[in-house]
Amino acid sequence: MLVGAKRKQLKLGLFIRPCGHHIASWRHPQAQADAGVNFGHFVEMAKTAERGKFDMLFSADSNTAFTGAEAALDLVHYVAWMEPYSLLTALSQHTTNIGLVCTASTSFEQPFHIARRFATLDLISGGRSGWNVVTSGNPKEAQNFSKVPHPPKVERYRRAKEFVRVVKGLWDSWDEDAFLRDKKSGVFFDRAKMHELNHNGEFYDVRGPLNVARSPQGHPVIVEAGLSEDGRQLAAETAEVVFCAHDTIESAKAFYADMKARTVACGREADDIKIMPGLSVIVAETREAAQIKLQQLQELLHPRLGLALLSARIGHDLMDYELDKPLPPLPENVVISSRSDMIKSWSKTPGAAGGEPTLRELCQRFAASRGHYSIVGTPQDVADEMQRWLDNDACDGFNFVPSIFPTGLDDFVDLVVPELQKRGIFRTQYEGPTLRDVLGLRYPVSRYAERKAAK
């Protein structure tokens, strides 16, 4: 690092999940099994994350209870919990600085509804909202909406690109100073500063304007995830934060370089997009104590659930396979994905006994980290790895996936955050009131203001 250069700062998201990201977390003695319907639990979670100076809360979402482990669905703790937009809106009144990001699907929503909803959350929260754009890859979601079959991936992404374009256009419906509210003259707003979008596209015809005033941060922050070619390109064109999953620094560095290059090729600045891979951490004062915490969770994993999850991710039914034997050769027609490739690479690395890992070990590894990079150790161990990824351009920060709530988050905030702050790579105070301030993202200039300035 050059003398006098400002040190790169970590960004941190908290990926909220009712009981935790370890699939067996709800069975732990310190977990709240009713977390999915326990609002007070989420308030505590949000306040702890804000105490730890996290950039944002992030809630994924699905429009179905069938989330990929049907053979063991009765053992899954997150089949039913609070709808995240409503949840984050309520949490905005219990927090002051932390960002509020949740998922909404371009396959089952309308652009006007999404624009209005997130612009409203931005007003309620004082400029802290973000929209996680998804195209809904699970075809079972479509079964809850209409008789129309779930569109193929290429069409879903084409629709998503237009959808985001319409939403961003609607967010520019009003100039910042459009609302005069002049009681003396009786003029409420300046008509010249209201803009109709009049979008006519392949999928949407939207007149506008949006009937919500301009956001305190210009636009809510756009967040996306995905490792596919379609997902990367959509993110390079439209996203400001990208969540991803990498279990090695090498794959993370390659993804980081690719996404930054794609973003620049789209006419944007490299720093206009923040790359935040998932990070699983189990931390304690000693490495031995951290390993004990992990093992306690692993012992709670129901074998049927472990096999069901692995089957869904690897694209092949493993339910009748023997748990204490290595993963056998898979059929040639198994569908390849980033996660299935990852799991198959794990099967080639030594297990606890030194030979090929057993199917039980693979189930436990996936249940613990869900394919994200995992660190088990002391606060110094965790901070060392996080700093290594940051300094080597593998990330701009992390989306933290605690194995168990509330203790996993408490441990991170109390043990790891002070270590990061001591090293000068994480904030001690929030940079400003909006999510853009905190993430270091530019304030978006309205398209109408740009046109006016260009004249």
Domain count of the chain? 1
From the list 129, 210, 223, 224, the residue with the least C-alpha distance to 171 is 210
Q: Measured between alpha carbons, how far is 211 from 179 in angstroms, rounded to an integer?
A: 12
From the list 172, 167, 162, the residue with the least C-alpha distance to 196 is 172
Tokens linked to 263: 């973003």
Sorted by sequence, the CB contacts under 8 Å of residue 17 that are 6+ apart come out as 78, 401, 402, 405
Query: Tell me, what's the pLDDT at 359?
Result: 87
Residue 309 included in any domain: no
Sorted by sequence, the CB contacts under 8 Å of residue 253 that are 6+ apart come out as 392, 393, 394
CA 336 → CA 313, 314, 340, 363, distances in Å?
9, 8, 6, 18
Residue 176 included in any domain: yes
Residue 416 included in any domain: yes
* CATH number of the CATH domain containing 159: 3.20.20.30
Residue 63 included in any domain: yes
Tokens linked to 359: 């199917």
Query: Tell me, what's the pLDDT at 147?
Result: 81
Q: Measured between alpha carbons, how far is 67 from 238 in angstroms, rounded to an integer?
A: 27
DSSP letter string, 267-318: TS-GGGSEEEEEEEEEE-SSHHHHHHHHHHHHTT--HHHHHHHHHHHHTS--
Q: Which helix (H) or strand (E) holds 133?
A: strand 129-134
CA 201 → CA 94, 166, 432, distances in Å?
40, 9, 37
Q: Which helix (H) or strand (E) holds 114?
A: helix 111-125
Tokens linked to 311: 């089957």
78-99 per-residue burial string, b: 16 or more CB within 10 A, e: under 16: beebbebbebbbebbeebebbb
Q: Which helix (H) or strand (E) holds 13?
A: strand 11-15
Query: Tell me, what's the pLDDT at 354?
Result: 62
Sorted by sequence, the CB contacts under 8 Å of residue 304 that are 6+ apart come out as 71, 72, 75, 319
Partners of 274 in the beta sheet?
A: 241
Q: Which long-range contacts (C-beta less than 8 Å, at least 24 apart) are formed by 66-70?
A: 66/138, 66/140, 67/138, 68/138, 68/309, 68/312, 68/313, 69/305, 69/308, 69/309, 69/312, 70/308, 70/312
Per-residue model confidence as pLDDT tens for the chain (455 residues): 444 557 899 999 999 999 999 999 999 999 999 999 999 999 999 999 999 999 999 999 999 988 777 889 999 988 899 999 999 999 999 999 999 999 999 999 999 999 999 999 999 999 999 999 999 988 889 999 988 888 999 999 999 999 999 999 999 999 999 999 999 999 999 999 999 999 999 999 999 999 999 999 999 999 999 788 999 999 999 999 999 999 899 999 999 999 999 999 999 999 999 999 999 999 999 999 999 999 999 999 999 998 998 888 777 888 988 888 888 777 665 554 556 667 767 766 766 666 788 989 888 888 887 779 999 999 999 999 999 999 999 999 999 999 999 999 999 999 999 999 999 999 999 999 999 999 999 999 999 988 877 76
What residues make up the domain containing 86? 11-287+371-454
Q: Measured between alpha carbons, how far is 444 from 168 in angstroms, rounded to an integer?
A: 10
CA 21 → CA 132, 240, 282, 297, 379, distances in Å?
19, 25, 12, 11, 20
Q: Measured between alpha carbons, how far is 279 from 276 in angstroms, rounded to an integer?
A: 9
DSSP 322: -
For 373-421, strand residue ranges (E) read 373-377, 397-400
Q: Measured between alpha carbons, how far is 231 from 246 in angstroms, rounded to an integer?
A: 15
443 within 8 A of 220, measured Cβ to Cβ: no
Residue 66 included in any domain: yes
